[in-house]
Structure 1
Amino acid sequence: MEQRIEVSRNIAAPPSAVWRVLTALDEAPITLRAVKAVERLDGTGYEVGTRWRETRVMFGQSATEEMQVAEADPERRTVVVAESRGARYRTVFDLTPSAGGTDLSVEFSGESGPLGAFAQLAMTLFAPLAKRATRKALEQDLADIAAAAERAG
């Protein structure tokens, strides 16, 4: 079962400033209010193959997930992937220059493996709530990225 959520926002800063904020992994706990810690596992910059553990608060709980850069096209697009408890996650950030700065969109998708009957029922019941909470978290991340990029200009 796959879930997909997309949100976007205009940021009053050039793509170069947005890219710097978006890819500054070591600064994420300062920039993104939901991120509590980042531990690098591979890589010193931001390129395909860079891996890290990210601890963030979701649904009122602290969770740590291992993330990896799967695609990086500077100032245009990046894709981050993760696997956890039988589910695969993919987050795509697209940066598009605009008259007002940069349009930043993020598409988050998650796909679980085969589910048993009880897990399928639970997913059906709780998916709308989880989707709303995830959308809200993505919107907050974009707001935090916008604030940092606009300050940096």
Structure 2
Amino acid sequence: MSSSSVTVSRTVAAPVETVWDVATDLEAMPGTMSAVARVEVLAGGDPFDVGTRWRETRVMMRREATEEMTVTHAARPSTYTVEAEDHGVHYVSTFAFTPLGADRTEVTLTFAGEPTKPQNPLARAMGRLGLRMVRKELEKDLADLATASEAAARRG
């Protein structure tokens, strides 16, 4: 069983603390991320740290999908990792926030999925196609994060 991963990056015209605050504001996520329909915080969240758990409902390909997410690593304002498991796959998403001076931040998001049980050849082929779709979704998430973070930075 092999892992598949996608990494995307984007420069955001906002300070690293602002980008972190926007990225980790679970209650505001449905208004920040266009693909997120609902968030239900299950544990923690204020402050956002290891052990924070939530249910996130996204709209993908005109269908809703709900995943339970858990923060497994957090180092404010540099990085955090979220893990989930669904449909026989263990998912790990790592966000890294790198300051580029006082008012810009490089955000890098790495998403990986590792099957927890053997897959048939058709599932593996669909997985490769799915990675292209995942890349587009992640790029949209980072664009939404940039828009919200830049607006927050302008508000001060």
TM-score after normalising by structure 1: 0.93
- 5+ residue gaps, structure 1: none
Corresponding position of 2:51: 49
TM-aligned CA deviation for residue 87 of structure 1: 1.4
Partner of 1:145: 145
Q: Residue 109 in 1 paired to residue 115 in 2?
A: no
Structure 1 residue aligned with 2:133:
133
Structure 2 equivalent of residue 11 of structure 1? 12
Match of 1:64, as an amino acid? T
Alpha-carbon distance between aligned partners in 2 of 1:94 and 1:85, rounded to the nearest angstrom: 27
Shift of 1:122: 1.4
The answer to whether the 8 Å contact 1:59/1:133 transfers is no
Q: Secondary structure of the equivalent of 1:26?
A: coil
Aligned residue for 1:33, secondary structure, equals coil
Query: 1:71: which partner in 2?
Result: 73
- How far apart, in 1, do the equivalents of 2:9 and 2:82 lie? 17
> Equivalent residue for 1:23?
24
What's the secondary structure of 1:16's corresponding residue? helix
- Paired-residue identity, %: 42
Counterpart for residue 123 of structure 1: 123
**Amino acid in structure 1 at the alignment position of 2:58:** R
Check the 8 A contact 1:42/1:50 in 2, yes or no.
yes
Measured on the aligned residues, the alpha-carbon RMSD in Å equals 1.2
- 1:145 CA displacement: 0.3
* CA apart distance, 1:110: 0.5
Task: Return closer, same or farther for 1:59/1:3 CA change in 2, 3 Å cut-off.
Answer: farther
CA distance in 1, matches of 2:152, 2:74: 21
CA–CA distance in 1 between the matches of 2:72 and 2:51? 6
CA deviation vs aligned residue, 1:76-98 (integer Å, no higher than 9, x gap): 00000111122111000000011
Structure 2 residue 64 is matched with structure 1 residue 90: no
List runs of 5+ in structure 2 lacking aligned partners: none
Tell me how far apart the structure 2 counterparts of residues 111 and 124 of structure 1 sit (CA, whole Å): 11
Q: Secondary structure at the match of 1:25?
A: coil
Residues 4-45 of structure 1: CA deviation (Å, up to 9, x unaligned): 000000000010110011000011100000000001111141
Distance 1:126 1:28 in 2: 29
Report what 1:61 is aligned to.
63
Normalised TM-score (structure 2): 0.92
